[in-house]
Amino acid sequence: MKLNRRDFLKASAFIGSLSIFGIGLGKVAADENFRPTSSRKKSSTKTGQEPEIKVDLKTGKVELNPNYVMRNSVCLGCFSVCGNRLKIDKKTGQIVKVFGNPYHPNSAQNPLKYDAPLLEAYLSASRYEEKGIINRATVCPRGNSAFETTYDPQRILVPLKRNGERGSGKWKPISYEELLNETVNGGKLFQEIGEDREIEGFKQVHDLKTLIDPNRKELGAKVNQMVFLGGRYDGRTEFTKRFVQAYGTVNSYGHTGICGGARRVAFQAFTDEWKKSPHMKPDFDESNFIIFFGTAPGQAGNPYQPIARKTANAASEGNLQFVVIDPILPNLTGTKGKWIPIKPGQDGALAMGMIRWILENSRYNEKYLSAVNEESAKQIGYPSWTNAAYLIIDDPKHPNYRKFLRAADLGIGAEDEYVVIDRDTLQVSTNKKSKFGQILFKGEVQGKDGSKIPVKTSLMALKENAEKYTLKEYSQQSGVPVEKITWLADEFSKRGAKVGTDHHGGPSMHPNGFYSSLAIILLNALVGSVNKKGGMSKSAGGFKTFDEGPKYDLLNIPGAQKPKGVKLSREKFAYENTTEYKEKVAKGENPYPAKEPYYPFAQEMMQEIIPSAIKGYPYRPKILLNHQMNPLYTVPGLYQKDIIEGLKDPKNIPLIISIDVVMGETTAYADYIVPDTVFYESWGLPSVWNGMVNKVSATRLPVVTPKTPKLADGRHINMETYLIDIAKMLGLPGFGDQAIPGTDGKLYPLHRQEDFYLRAIANIAYDGKKPVKDVKPEEVKLVEIDEALKGFEDILKPEEWKKVLYVLVRGGRFEARENAYEGDDLKYKYPRVLNIYNEFVGSSKNSLTGEYFEGTAAYIEPAFSDGKAIKEVYPESEWPFNLISYKSRFRSTSTLANISKLRNIKESNQIQIPREAALKLGIRDGDQVKIVTSTGEAVGQAKIRDGLMPGTIAIAFGYGHWEYGSRTYQVGGKKVSGNEKIAAGVALNPIAHREKNGNMVNDPVSGAISRNDTRAKLMKL
């Protein structure tokens, strides 16, 4: 779609209302702490800065400024990974300004055609032929400022070794050679400071044969005692995965467990895809009605920019109406958006209330839900089908209780056929013999031995769960009036397939997060919006990159042994398969509860690593290797006295190595620190977030020279260099001379990071029916990419090199949006059965209670692991407030506290309090107040809010650091002064609640942590 100037200004005004005017609406006051000032030093808004180009508005001729070069990259101001263009001063080599990449659909509503000459990227920001209106690419405030990390005075730029007890802030610089030798070979590494303990290094722990515990063989080999924390999804994650796979440990963790983990696992249950993590978002451009649960366009959510822009455009130029369900009012001034406040943790009550209304009023898509296989779904115009009509065994005495009834159970077909009641004949049949089935059936069928088997359909199981509560009860739980529940259900179910839901951490970061997420997801299945234009998209994904591609296979390592064993977090492993369970059963004991909970469906529960290490259950690690992760700051309830004391004791984790750019809260407790490159100094090929309906593969190369030390062979110290050198010292497969398989049958070397990333970009360039074009010499010259990549030409074949450069100069490879649809369907579909009921979940048990999990959506009260409701343990009469965190537009993640421009815009967060509660307590704006929880206290400045659910206190995430450059520490006896501004504000996580036994509060199904359920008291100081 082309925008004229009028259309652009309308959409811009909409986006402006999202991102500038604050929370708005009614009496909601502006934030007095918002101070848009800047020191102007190295500022991207510096008024006296020379323009990078001049454009003749009559001819379109572009005149380049020889003092600057422009290069495309990918932003990490948050994890939306938008495409950026960087203006670099040739004299200083420094970044001085950031633009959006006009080829990248994250950054431009109407991106340039991929084969458009690179010179068009300059015109796209000009007034020539209104190209700056039509194709303008943008960056958000975070993206415009995040390049400051490159020049952060607090950066760690040399290898460090602790020179005192852990956490003492005493360090000494060491050489890279010492770092490698000591961390690989181990020894009495801290003898010089009085610690006589023998510490095993990577070499000793890399033992693939010796069992951790011969009496518990399921734990696996000693190699599993190397634990890796990382996975920032910044485009470098696949490199760390390669190292972990080559090393052979099962213990590798990203941040999923503390960031929308329940949502991801709920989508896995919905798709029954447990190896990958497919999840869906609305087709924002074409939708007519979207419900945002716990997120809002222009406030939060990934990908941040395109959601705001697409929602703005669809609402101003299309038919989109959207609703935000959230305890805190987002930025909706001047939009068509509606805000419905809700009690924290009660999104599931609202969603189940909507489901009840839709089912009771027959507003579900009966035709779609009745289809029992792919053929019948296609016959009625749908690319996928559901298991709504499949029969579940409902007899507790049956050996397959809570599983689907198979044709083999009745003697009418094979094990892979599911039994249904044919819609037309009303006879027992199978999903292969019938086209359509009854969807609301409950009764008995006859087994092949003549016995009666009680059964019900998947949709009936959902209906029964929805009917456990009335709409009035759902209203009381959620705080959403009945008339609004029915209005939402009516609006959502009357618009056909052009509807969708979007949610992330808001509804999912609670101990009932899995079921709340699943209920939200199933709303889309009930109306048949999945895979439809304007409905729910699984995302087009990207071009083949690291996996087995058209040129190279960068994920599969020849000769690598598949990691085996129980993970330290006890995820992806059923308690019933443990020695502990089997021994209890053999003794005739009730095997429940387990000593510690197991999470067979969970993903990357990094919150459990340090607590499990301290407890020594199921075993203790010997090495913790951390790559820029900061659990002590980001995990609710982790930074508390018992954890810190346990972390200080080397017997719990003998060796901690942190690869980082700054002294983060977790890195401060490391034994060794490896300096890393920041994102504009690094390679990275991040996958696009869901929400893109056309293929997107972005590329990041080092656009400026890294500030970390340069080694004799020309490489700079960073994560990749360190891991490559460890791997080569140990002789790990997948590194060294014969490392990377090519499709030509040859093995190629991996000695430097470019060997890995350039070959991955070759896959991007050649994927699909046709590869990209060869780069033109004038485009190489335009961005001087030949100079940036000098010395790496021999990595690829000459014909590959030209196509890789074509991708790099454009910042990636981007499919045209017009390829996104096939009639009324999305081109990129989830083509398999969608699960109203998941038998894997429904036939599994809670490892503590021994009770079965629900296999479909249900309303579950937020509760601790023993089943006691949080509000019963901490009654409202004593603990009247519920603490929640939310994403600030000016901080968002934990990694932006050292960005001075963002601090200048928003110096601190506040403790936001509903007006009625503040009046009752005599609290005014700016007063100092104290929050008291069951685990601690926090003091901050009060901010009175109208747009806040009663009984809720809101605190913006990302503030209140106690490290991350805020604290002074010593290197070689010299002080590295801290910046107290980084410590400004309040951090919620250190005062978040824990279980009575000290455990983290996790969702028992998904393993995701509880972030927004802590009960609190409040007092004026």
Euclidean distance between CA atoms 995 and 511, whole angstroms = 11
Kind of pairing between the strands at 170-173 and 226-229: unpaired
Residue-level length of the chain: 1021
Give the residue from 938, 960, 870, 947 showing the smallest Cα distance to 916. Answer: 947
User: Which residues on adjacent β-strands are paired with residue 118?
Assistant: none
Q: What is the side-by-side strand order in the sheet with 499-503?
A: 338-340, 321-325, 289-293, 499-503
Nearby residues of 217 by Cβ (< 8 Å), 6 or more positions away: 211, 579
pLDDT score for 827: 94
C-alpha R_g of the chain: 28
Tell me the C-alpha distance between 72 and 629, whole Å: 26
Q: SS3 of 530, please? A: strand
The contacts of residue 410 (CB under 8 Å, 6+ apart) are 419, 428, 445, 446, 447, 448
338 to 285, 490, 949: CA distances (angstroms)? 18, 15, 15
Element (H, E) at 970: strand 969-971
Q: Give the count of alpha carbons within 13 A of 1019, CB side only.
A: 8
DSSP for 388-447, written as a single string: TTPEEE--TTSTTTTSBPBHHHHTSS-TTPBEEEBTTT-SEEETTT-SBB-SS-EEEEE-
DSSP β-bridge partners for residue 422: 437
Domain range annotation of the chain? 53-144, 160-260+561-572+601-675, 366-463, 696-819, 865-1020
Q: Nearest-CA neighbor of 753 among 740, 763, 772, 743?
A: 740
- What would the pLDDT profile of 456-494 be if each residue is shown by its tens digit? 999 999 999 999 999 999 999 999 999 999 999 999 999
Residue 968 has a CB neighbour count (10 Å cut-off) of: 12
Q: Which of 690, 657, 670, 699 is nearest to 803 (CA)?
A: 699
Residues ≥6 apart with Cβ < 8 Å to 137: 83, 85, 99, 100, 101, 102, 104, 107, 108, 111, 124, 125
Query: Would the pLDDT of 15 be above 50?
Result: no
pLDDT higher than 80, residue 318: yes
Backbone angles phi, psi at 221, to 5 degrees: -85, 170
**pLDDT tens for each residue of 90-106:** 999 999 999 999 999 99
Whether 160-260+561-572+601-675 and 865-1020 share one fold: the answer is no
Q: How far apart are CA 599 and CA 590, in angstroms?
A: 19
Burial of 817 by CB count in 10 Å (0-12 exposed, 13-18 middle, 19+ buried)?
middle
| Percentage of the chain exceeding pLDDT 70 | 95
Residue 45 clears pLDDT 50, i.e. is over it: no
Average pLDDT, the chain: 92
Instruction: Give tens-digit pLDDT for 341-386.
Output: 999 999 999 999 999 999 999 999 999 999 999 999 999 999 999 9
Q: Which residue has the higher pLDDT, 691 or 325?
A: 325
CATH topology of domain 160-260+561-572+601-675: Rossmann fold (3.40.50)
- Which of 71-85, 636-650, 778-792 comes out lowest in average pLDDT? 71-85
- Strands of the sheet containing 969-971, edge to edge, are 252-253, 226-229, 623-627, 655-660, 672-675, 160-162, 170-173, 969-971, 974-976
From CA 225, how far away is CA 652, in angstroms rounded?
Answer: 11
Nearest to 788 by CA among 704, 700, 715, 716: 704
Q: What is the DSSP string of 233-272?
A: -SS-HHHHHHHHHHHT-S-EE-SGGGTTHHHHHHHHHHHT
Confidence of residue 1 (pLDDT cuts 50, 70, 90): very low
Among 23-27, 48-52, 516-520, where is mean pLDDT lowest? 23-27
Tell me how far apart the terminal alpha carbons of the chain are, to the nearest angstrom: 56
The pLDDT-based confidence of 929 (bands split at 50, 70, 90) is: very high
Q: Is 586 exposed, middle or buried (0-12, 13-18, 19+ CB in 10 A)?
A: exposed
pLDDT of residue 48: 65
Q: How far apart are CA 65 and CA 419, in angstroms?
A: 71
| Contact between 546 and 555 (Cβ < 8 Å) | yes
For residue 8, pLDDT over 80 is answered with no
Query: Tokens for 363?
Result: 């507003």
**Interacting residues of 423 by C-beta distance below 8 A, sequence separation 6+:** 370, 389, 434, 436, 437, 438
Matching residue, tokens 């250190």:
990
The whole-angstrom separation of Cα 139 and Cα 82 is 8
Classified as helix, coil or strand, 793 is helix
Lowest mean pLDDT among 318-322, 408-412, 898-902: 898-902
**What pLDDT shows up at residue 9?**
43
Q: What is the pLDDT of residue 333?
A: 56
Exposure letters 271-305 (e unless 16+ CB within 10 A, then b): beeeeebbbbbbbbbbbbbbbbbbbbbbbbbbbbb
Q: Is 5 a residue whose pLDDT tops 50?
A: no
Which helix (H) or strand (E) segment holds residue 903: the answer is helix 900-905
Question: Is 865-1020 a domain of CATH 3.40.50.300?
Answer: no
Q: What is the mean pLDDT of residues 921-935?
A: 97
Q: How far is CA 580 from CA 327, 612, 944, in A?
A: 42, 17, 52
**249, pLDDT greater than 50:** yes
Q: Would you state the pLDDT for residue 81?
A: 87
Copy the structure tokens of residue 660.
């980082």
Q: What is the pLDDT at residue 78?
A: 85
Question: Which of these, 129, 994, 998, lies nearest to 646 by C-alpha position?
Answer: 998
CA–CA gap between residue 645 and residue 882 (Å, rounded): 28
Show the tokens assigned to 46. 């510096």
Query: Which residue, chain included where needed, has tokens 């400022």?
Result: 145
Residue 27's pLDDT is: 33
Residue-wise pLDDT for 537-587, tens only, equals 998 889 999 989 999 999 999 999 999 999 999 999 999 999 999 999 999
pTM for the full model?
A: 0.94
Of 12-21, 181-190, 626-635, 658-667, the one with minimum mean pLDDT is: 12-21
Q: Is the pLDDT of residue 889 over 60?
A: yes
Provide φ and ψ at 274, rounded to 5°: -100, -10
Phi, psi of 367 (to 5 degrees): -60, -45
**Residue 190 Cα distances to 387, 610, 674, 725, 754, angstroms:** 60, 22, 17, 23, 35
516: phi then psi, degrees, rounded to nearest 5 = -65, -45
How far is the C-alpha of 890 from the C-alpha of 901, rounded, in Å?
9
Question: What's the burial of 157, exposed, middle or buried (CB within 10 Å: 0-12/13-18/19+)?
Answer: middle
Residue type, 465: N
Within 8 A by CB and 6+ apart from 363, the residues are: 357, 489, 490, 493, 494, 527
Alpha-carbon distance of 715 to 996, in angstroms, equals 50
8 Å CB contact between 599 and 570:
yes
pLDDT (tens digit per residue) in 739-793: 999 999 999 999 999 999 999 999 999 999 999 999 999 999 999 999 999 999 9
pLDDT score for 769: 93
Amino acid at 353: G
CA 792, CA 280: separation in Å to the nearest integer?
Answer: 38
* Alpha carbons 208 and 758: distance in angstroms, whole number: 32
Location of structure tokens 């003091």: 939
Q: What is the pLDDT of residue 438?
A: 98
* CA proximity to 607, closest of 634, 628, 625: 634
Query: Residue 943 pLDDT more than 90?
Result: yes
Quickly tell me which residue has 């990918």 as its tokens.
74
Helices 719-730 and 176-185, packing angle to 10 deg? 50
3-state secondary structure (DSSP) of residue 187: strand
- Whether residue 234 contacts residue 684, with contact meaning beta carbons closer than 8 Å, is answered with yes
Closest CA to 1004 of 868, 838, 836, 853: 853
